[in-house]
Amino acid sequence: MVQARWESQGTWQAIMIEKTKGGSINSGDTVYLKAHTGLHIDVAGEGVEARWNDKGGWQAMIIEKKDASGPILPNDIVCFKAHTGKHLDVEDDFVRARWNDCGYWQAMQIQKEIVGAVFSGDSIHLAVHTGNRFEVEGTAVQARWGETGQWQTLTIESYGGGAIFSGDAVFLRAHTGKLVDVQGVEVQARWEERGSWQTFYIERKGGSGAVMPGDTIFLRAHTNKMVEVDGVAVQARWDATGLWQSLVIEKATSRRLSESTMDASALGALLGMAATVLVIGMLVLVLAIKSSRMRHGSEVKDYSYKVQPSQDEDTADIAR
């Protein structure tokens, strides 16, 4: 079933517009709309669904630029005419094809996915006004250090997936596998369930649009209070959007992990080489000592054959 229930711009909302021979798309072209399931949207009577991977008559749509002609561009307002001659329309949550008009209910805006935005499933850090970052230790959520390590790494998630936009409902999963939650004014990370306590509405300080790395954001909890940092404490006490509530969203990378791995490998190799040199040195020392003792013993033996009798011993021999 094809519906229009949420404002999120996620995977479920992503539609790929395909043209049989490829190339640019112009008003009046026949196109096909592929859903995230890999199936194409089709029209049977007034019903609109996405049931098959075919590009047949039921899936064919004529894209029309509202009140204009020419190439279809991002942010253009368009209508889609089905093989029945009716245009797709939206009433409440339902998408159908009931009338010939290309009016308000039939008007749809083309929005191109933003490259470089923060996407659902991305690993992020949240930097705060003190220069520190959010971190999770056990169930406690605080902002004590400026490091970007495992404790400071959160995974941002949304219902539909895809790029995160201002106004989206999001979830923050800690390295423990638990989602950050708000109970009263306390911010913790205790459970894996996606409930109202775990839901945050992300708001860009710069206004609407896709959330980009480096953006200053606010997180509104289910209590309608904003998450804020006071010292090292993370809480949700007020509805203000001031300095204490300002968070800078950063994309986490695997650079630190790879560098740590390389450093550990290099250290291991260095220690291995040092141990080898130490063993060789000890062997050389043992051999040197043994050789020295052997030489010393040989010299003593040689000298024993060359000892001359004393003068007293010579006199005694002559007297005898």
Q: Encode pLDDT of 265-313 as tens digits.
A: 444 555 555 555 555 555 555 555 555 555 554 444 444 444 444 444 4
Which of the pair, 280 or 53, is modelled with greater confidence? 53
Whole-angstrom distance, CA of residue 64 vs CA of residue 261: 55
What pLDDT is attached to residue 227? Answer: 98
Query: Stretch 213-238: mean pLDDT, rounded?
Result: 98
| Cβ atoms < 10 Å from Cβ of 305 | 6
φ and ψ of 314, to 5 deg: -65, -45
**286 or 34: which leads in pLDDT:** 34
In the prediction, which pLDDT does 257 show? 43
The label of the residue with tokens 């112009």 reads: 26
Is it the case that residue 92 has pLDDT exceeding 70? yes
Task: Indicate the range of 19-23, 220-224, 265-269, 276-280 predicted with least confidence.
Answer: 265-269
What local confidence, expressed as pLDDT, does residue 110 receive? 94
pLDDT at 173 over 60: yes
Q: Is the pLDDT of residue 20 over 60?
A: yes
Dist. CA 18–CA 25, nearest whole Å:
9
pLDDT at 87 over 80: yes
Q: What is the mean pLDDT of residues 102-127?
A: 94
161 confidence band (pLDDT: 50, 70, 90): confident
Q: d(Cα 308, Cα 201) in Å, to the nearest integer? A: 107
Predicted local confidence at residue 245, as pLDDT:
98
Q: What's residue 162's pLDDT?
A: 87
Q: Tell me the pLDDT of the chain averaged across its residues.
A: 86
Domains present along the chain, CATH in parentheses: 16-109 (2.80.10.50), 123-255 (2.80.10.50)
Q: Given pLDDT bands bounded at 50, 70 and 90, which one contains residue 264?
A: very low
Rounded average pLDDT over 151-155: 98
Answer whether 56's CB lies under 8 Å from 83's CB. no
Model's pTM, two decimal places? 0.66
